Structure 1
Amino acid sequence: MSISTDHGRSDPESGAPARTRDGRPVSDRGDTVCVIGAGASGLTAIKNLTEQGFGVDCYERETGVGGAWNWRHDRSPVYASTHLVSSRPFTQFPDFPMPDDWPDYPHHSQLLGYLERYADHFDLRRHIWFGTEVARVDPVAGDRWDVTTRSTGGYGPERTSRYAAVVVANGHNWSPKLSSYEGLAEFRGEVMHASSYQDPAQLRGKRVLVVGAGNTGCDIAVEAAQQASRCWHSTRRGYWYAPKYVFGRPADQVDDTLLALRVPRRVRQWLHHLTMRLTVGDLTRFGLPEPDHRVYETHPIANSQLVDQVGHGRITPVADVARFHPYGVELADGREIEPELVVFATGYLPRFEFLDPRILGDDAGTGRPTLWLNAFPPGHPTLAVAGLVQPDSGVFPLSHWQMVLFARLLRLRVTRPDRVAAFATTVGARAGERYSGPVKDSSRHWFEVGHADYLRAVQRALHDLEKPR
């Protein structure tokens, strides 16, 4: 394993070995920055920090890069047929384009290969400690951080290192959000969360109930329509099912044209509703519930096949689940069905097990941090969270610009402390700011951002940080 620099330095100020608050020895890493996770957000953090001259130690609990896109990882939510739901130009890193001959919506295996080439192109692997998980991150004097690590799985002794800054990039799509239903414990059928779904063979020949209408839930319902003997799809409300192509182009590219022209949100909503009426028609005719919100008020569902399978009778839309019985499921409208397999595609909750949630402004521990730009917590100028966004486009470009901003902020701590102080004041005043317009109040939409509005906000922050004297 290769690393960025040697461990084991003494405290640079006192010359004595550094210690944790409870007296354990600490390896002081000087100006080195700790990055937690080597997925897409962690990789772009390493790349942008090293470009600004910082040493970086990245800790990755798995044995390879890629994070959620590495299907070999235990925590990966990827399944065999996973493709991007955002098109290639809106997913790629701005300084490392995907190949021009790739499809509009690449397969997950292509995404993993892309991230591996990104790591190799920028020589990032030498900064990564693979097979190492972070147990604790504690703030110490001087806006520094004690990071305690151990071998993945808890084997071997723990070690603590002191860092000038920390980037949290452990992802937010790995800890399943599990629903609680009356009678679920007595249900005799098979129950699984979508995080355990990998292949359509798990559905073959079974009566399947899919609960949840996010992009994953819709994908699994479509695959159940093709493989299962019966498929029910349960949703809490009606949704807008956007096709992946509009006018022969990826739908997000068409919408981005309107965003670039600064077309008002209400006008874009009207145009989207008109397009849906002309192409898909009235969804209630298929038995799907009518949406209780306007488009863009929930996370976009990009699926060109779900309505088609409903129209062919292969998917039966049903109401929300009310309760379970030993051999059946009672729905909110009183109907009862008898699935053999229930798949909960109910999403994920962000978890930062190594960090006191109060540091991120989540005093109640509900998984809803209070951050500015979804990245910066008040009171901790050397801590940033990368990739904690749910955009209407790809995440990679947003993570890239988050880390450009953070790397430059850290560099200015020496040369322009007045700018850094002004930035900290802004973080305290604007933490919790949203960049999505009105959206449904749910854990799924807590991190929702409109990519155009969000990137403009990051651009303004960069300008304010680096404007001429």
Structure 2
Amino acid sequence: MHAYDFRDTKGFEGKNVFLLGIGNSALDIAVDLAKVAKSVTVSTRRGTWVFNKVAAGGMPYDTLYMTRLYDWLMDAVPWTIANDFMENLVQQRMDHDLYGLRPNHRFFQQHPTVNDSLCNLICTGYITIADDVDTFTADKVIVKNGKSYDCDVFITCTGYTFGFPYLDKKLINIEHHEVPLYKFVFPPDYNNLAVIGMIQPIGSIVPISEIQARWVVQVFLGKISLPPKQTMLDDIARKRALMKRRYFQSEKHTIQVDYVKYMDEIATILGCKPDIWKVS
């Protein structure tokens, strides 16, 4: 089954469950199943850095990191130092080397994998981390290092293919998950068509969708004009290049944005970007 079809833990009681993939969906499902399943094994090809939702002192990390101060620091601090700091931080909570989680890429080269419960469940044996899948038998999964794991239920958590199969490809043609939309909203050839929410921020998607909707309405009403087509194409190409430089090569890293930067970008177009000097 695919992670999309998972709804609750009913029917998994006493089963050996094997999950392929180590993104947020995989870990959320694994944590839920650890309460009822006989065994839960998570297979990873490249590993991942696992971050927690709650910081020391009990504050959600969103409230600490989704700020202009943090955004400024990320631009000011050398890339290597920022990665060293975050990797040391997550290592204090869980030894990624000991449990086979350390990836080859740096912390900020991936979309965050966030889970508060995984560490305790791995340490206590409720969840096992395994190598990439090699082959299957009738009731086992054999991974690349030769180990085998009992398997009654196999769940693929390998992501989703997104697109618009109901639209003519001349309108929006998505290949390899690369979205040809100006600021992830407007097709350069059609200013009467817009997409809202097709974006993967490091931060909340709801406020981004809201500000995108405000922009779209202003364009449709004729109160804000879109730039020339070539300007939009250049912006699309620039964003793609930035993502390729920052993240490891993967189709899941094609619609990434930093929350504060993107919100400010659209707010500037709308003329509603806060002036922090006046606000303060």
- Name the TM tier (shorter chain): 0.7 to 0.9
Contact 1:361–1:370, Cα closer than 8 Å, also in 2: yes
Q: Which residue of 1 aligns with 2:232?
A: 427
Instruction: Pick the aligned partner of 2:100 from 271, 288, 311.
Output: 288
Deviation at 1:347, TM superposition (A): 1.7
Give me the whole-angstrom Cα distance separating, in 2, the residues matched to 1:427 and 1:336: 51
Q: How does 1:174-193 map to 2 (within 5 A)?
A: 192-193=1-2
Q: Which residue of 1 aligns with 2:91?
A: 277
Alignment: residue pair count: 264
Instruction: Pick the aligned partner of 1:317 from 118, 129, 132.
Output: 129
Give me the whole-angstrom Cα distance separating, in 2, the residues matched to 1:259 and 1:319: 39
Contact 1:328–1:338, Cα closer than 8 Å, also in 2: yes
TM-score, normalized by length of structure 1? 0.53
- How large is the Cα RMSD of the aligned pairs? 2.3
Q: Which residue of 1 aligns with 2:259?
A: 451
Q: Which residue of 2 aligns with 1:460?
A: 268
Contact 2:133–2:143, Cα closer than 8 Å, also in 1: yes
Contact 1:375–1:386, Cα closer than 8 Å, also in 2: yes
Contact 1:243–1:302, Cα closer than 8 Å, also in 2: yes
Structure 1 gaps of 5+ residues are 1-191, 465-469
Rate the CA distance shift 1:366–1:261 in 2: closer, same or farther, 3 A: closer
Q: Which residue of 2 aligns with 1:370?
A: 180
Deviation at 1:274, TM superposition (A): 3.1
Contact 1:361–1:377, Cα closer than 8 Å, also in 2: no
Q: How does 1:385-396 map to 2 (within 5 A)?
A: 385-396=195-206
Contact 1:322–1:332, Cα closer than 8 Å, also in 2: yes
Give me the whole-angstrom Cα distance separating, in 1, the residues matched to 2:215 and 2:229: 13
2:24 alignment partner AA: N
Q: Which residue of 2 aligns with 1:357?
A: 169
Q: How does 1:322-361 map to 2 (within 5 A)?
A: 322-361=134-173
Aligned to 1:384, what secondary structure does the other structure show? coil
Pair 1:202 & 2:11 matched:
yes
Give me the whole-angstrom Cα distance separating, in 2, the residues matched to 1:330 and 1:369: 36
Pair 1:241 & 2:50 matched:
yes
If asked which structure has higher relative contact order (CA below 8 Å, sep 6+), I would say: 2
Q: How does 1:99-110 map to 2 (within 5 A)?
A: none
Give me the whole-angstrom Cα distance separating, in 2, the residues matched to 1:289 and 1:260: 27
Rate the CA distance shift 1:421–1:262 in 2: closer, same or farther, 3 A: closer
Deviation at 1:258, TM superposition (A): 6.5
Contact 1:361–1:371, Cα closer than 8 Å, also in 2: no
Q: How does 1:16-35 map to 2 (within 5 A)?
A: none
Rate the CA distance shift 1:433–1:406 in 2: closer, same or farther, 3 A: farther
Aligned to 2:194, what secondary structure does the other structure show? strand
Deviation at 1:305, TM superposition (A): 0.7
Structure 2 gaps of 5+ residues are 273-280
Percent of aligned pairs with the same amino acid:
26
Moved over 4 A (4+): 258-261
1:442 alignment partner AA: S
Contact 1:210–1:345, Cα closer than 8 Å, also in 2: yes
Pair member with larger Rg: 1
2:189 alignment partner AA: G
Pair 1:220 & 2:29 matched:
yes
Contact 1:206–1:228, Cα closer than 8 Å, also in 2: yes
Pair 1:299 & 2:111 matched:
yes
Pair 1:264 & 2:74 matched:
yes
Deviation at 1:230, TM superposition (A): 1.1
TM-score, normalized by length of structure 2? 0.85
Deviation at 1:289, TM superposition (A): 2.9
Give me the whole-angstrom Cα distance separating, in 1, the residues matched to 2:17 and 2:53: 25
Give me the whole-angstrom Cα distance separating, in 1, the residues matched to 2:55 and 2:186: 36
Q: Which residue of 1 aligns with 2:276?
A: none
Deviation at 1:382, TM superposition (A): 1.1
Deviation at 1:432, TM superposition (A): 4.0
Give me the whole-angstrom Cα distance separating, in 2, the residues matched to 1:329 and 1:197: 20
Deviation at 1:283, TM superposition (A): 1.7
Rate the CA distance shift 1:452–1:261 in 2: closer, same or farther, 3 A: closer
Rate the CA distance shift 1:298–1:193 in 2: closer, same or farther, 3 A: same
1:233 alignment partner AA: V
Aligned to 1:245, what secondary structure does the other structure show? coil
Bigger strand share: 1
